[in-house]
Structure 1
């Protein structure tokens, strides 16, 4: 054990010291050689070019066709000034074009910033200004939600699509970009301003490898992509399909992602792999969906009753991972006879630590602050150096590494799994979405008739 690690774990038993040392060593040993998202996608283009990559209603694109379109658009974007780490807005409803646009931004060396057309115009205007976006890709049907006065050039798919045939379908050549930004996703902020989380390409290969090994992806699967790009579960869904040779199934943008409406799409499209919040999964008729073989839940607590219904005959996973750690930190596979809900163990290349206020590891069973580390840890918050320094700290167990202070409370279980216990602050989850109560309070306080504001979560849903 290194001198650095020895000093940090002095309050643990010899057995727990050995467990921590072994977990860190295993994480480093299995940490895959990093690669950019689009490079991992291109490896499947070479392996199986004719396989369907994306399906949207009656439309579909093969891996080869999707790659060619994305390459052409990448060249166009380069001509419009997109270079390495250039942030490009993506404001489109669910469609084939949005996947082409996303890949093209990455292939051009840029990073995409999702701008959900369903967001309030004021919020979109703030994100475009805060990220200083020079360019936004959109469609005419939703372009009206974008601010009229903005520094960003707006490029509609209907305008650039006919031009794509004039650009080369060969890839843009870029080297050494695994530590470049891949995307910036805005999350709720306690000060009343959303904050942009800067995520690089470095964590994608470990994520894709876990999915390939645990989702049975040696046989390509049809994967639902039902989450808005503004939430990082969408990245998980895209990885499970496009980085594993599967098919990404896009529902109609107006579809209600719950109940019989969603069940009908899953049946019609033969979807085999879904990732949903427990509350959304609970609305689906399990008996009508025998072809759904892989189920992952996350974003909120998973009730044991849900496991009893959905785990028999399926691979059922509960995942944990903040946006600041490239979607997935740890996952647990649940069997139908599960007795205690937990979030499992870190995936390859990631670490999880339960620490006290002095950044010392806590013994098994003792609640403490949950910190995560590894290749998926984000760069920080866009334009917020003080907030970044507060949330992203030096890793005392791994010289040169960084940890993200999640704000979650957890404890280690005797078998080595992590049990999530709740939050240490005012952040809440509503239908799986992170919400800072301070952001709501700040918005309420701006009203001239409001002197002070306080917001509480109604746990009973009344």
Structure 2
């Protein structure tokens, strides 16, 4: 909406949250779950957990209760951070991000206790093939997606749209792509995400320059509101096989050096490969997944674990 927050305000509020979390026992090696709506508190909570030294486990407030119970128990979460004091009580210590006691704590930076190989976050896969599985990601894996990389340069002049639900790892690109590079992070309500007309208005009004979206939403915007993509500097999309007609339509509309097709499973952290789409051959049947991100290796192997020659199908090992 019309709310704004500076980096200083975010840092101080996250420090206050981290202090409270340390008092409650969160430190290096701890896991703190967070259940929050799309809000400043959601971001403050995430940064606060990381500053305390813990790893965050994001849970969508609309997740069924039995699944939340499963994730809390399975992950070994020590504490639940939430924005909703009306939440039905869980069998776990709870910290309210809107609590008055936070304002009484110091906003100064805390001594750091982590190293880059410590866990930064845990996300649970959809569990379409049975019970959900938690994917554990260290700090260095997340940082490599947005820092010193070879496929995008984000600066303080950029505005990044926070589009992905924070319980999916696409949000890691949005949140840390902005905050680790001094850019603006534009949060939107869930209703706006589902309304392409409102989404287009936000992109225009907030001068969004970088956006990472699912292939399905990319196709929808191409069909319904292609105009909202015209002023973006970089459009990243991925998650399923790309549609050549939709990609061609957007490429014709926005021009070269803007479209990046990304690919990779949650286990390898957000995505592992990228491909700049600047032309599409008439005979093209698919959009390539491209080359590995910096600090990432992608090999194509046979069943014996040996590299296969160019042009020979094999298994992708990231």
* TM-score normalised by structure 2 residue count: 0.91
Matched position secondary structure for 1:271: coil
Which of 177, 197, 207 aligns to 2:115? It is 177
Which of 345, 357, 365 aligns to 2:303? It is 357
What's 1:198 paired with? Answer: 136
Structure 1 distance, partners of 2:308, 2:73, is 43
Q: Is the 8 A contact 2:124 2:133 kept in 1?
A: yes
Q: Is the 8 A contact 1:307 1:335 kept in 2?
A: no
Q: CA 1:137 to 1:175, structure 2 compared with 1: closer, same or farther past 3 Å? A: closer
Q: Is the 8 A contact 1:88 1:133 kept in 2?
A: yes
Q: CA 1:329 to 1:214, structure 2 compared with 1: closer, same or farther past 3 Å? A: closer
What's 2:317 paired with? Answer: 371
What's 2:248 paired with? Answer: 308
Q: CA 1:252 to 1:191, structure 2 compared with 1: closer, same or farther past 3 Å? A: closer
Structure 2 distance, partners of 1:149, 1:176, is 28
Q: CA 1:142 to 1:316, structure 2 compared with 1: closer, same or farther past 3 Å? A: farther
Structure 1 residues 225-264: aligned runs within 5 Å: 225-257=162-194, 259-264=196-201
What's 1:296 paired with? Answer: 236
How far is the alpha carbon of 1:326 from its aligned partner?
1.6
Which entry has the higher C-alpha Rg, 1 or 2? 1
What's 2:213 paired with? Answer: 276
Q: Is the 8 A contact 2:156 2:181 kept in 1?
A: no
Q: CA 1:301 to 1:279, structure 2 compared with 1: closer, same or farther past 3 Å? A: same
Q: Is the 8 A contact 1:220 1:244 kept in 2?
A: no
Structure 2 distance, partners of 1:307, 1:214, is 19
Q: Is the 8 A contact 1:226 1:257 kept in 2?
A: no
Q: Which stretch shifts more, 273-282 or 249-258?
A: 249-258
What's 2:12 paired with? Answer: 68
Which of 98, 106, 128 aligns to 1:158? It is 98
Q: Is the 8 A contact 1:258 1:283 kept in 2?
A: no
How far is the alpha carbon of 1:303 from its aligned partner?
1.4
Q: Is the 8 A contact 1:88 1:113 kept in 2?
A: yes
How far is the alpha carbon of 1:112 from its aligned partner?
0.3
Q: Is the 8 A contact 2:28 2:113 kept in 1?
A: no
Q: Is the 8 A contact 1:259 1:280 kept in 2?
A: no
What's 2:81 paired with? Answer: 137
Q: Is the 8 A contact 1:180 1:200 kept in 2?
A: yes
* TM-score normalised by structure 1 residue count: 0.63
What's 1:323 paired with? Answer: 266
Q: Is the 8 A contact 1:137 1:156 kept in 2?
A: yes
Question: How big is each residue's C-alpha offset from its partner over 1:342-393, in whole Å with a ceiling of 9 and x where there is no partner?
Answer: 1111111100111111111111112111111xxxxxxxxxxxxxxxxxxxxx
How far is the alpha carbon of 1:294 from its aligned partner?
1.0
Q: Is the 8 A contact 1:206 1:349 kept in 2?
A: yes
Q: CA 1:258 to 1:141, structure 2 compared with 1: closer, same or farther past 3 Å? A: farther
Question: How big is each residue's C-alpha offset from its partner over 1:399-426, in whole Å with a ceiling of 9 and x where there is no partner?
Answer: xxxxxxxxxxxxxxxxxxxxxxxxxxxx
5+ long unaligned stretches in structure 2: none
Structure 2 distance, partners of 1:210, 1:99, is 23
Structure 1 distance, partners of 2:228, 2:81, is 38
Matched position secondary structure for 1:333: strand
Which of 69, 72, 77 aligns to 1:128? It is 72
Q: Which stretch shifts more, 61-70 or 90-99?
A: 61-70
Q: Is residue 265 from structure 1 mapped to residue 202 from structure 2 by the alignment?
A: yes
The one of the two structures with greater contact order (alpha-carbon pairs below 8 A, sep at least 6) is: 1
Question: How big is each residue's C-alpha offset from its partner over 1:217-256, in whole Å with a ceiling of 9 and x where there is no partner?
Answer: 2452110111111110000111221111111111013334
5+ long unaligned stretches in structure 1: 1-56, 373-462
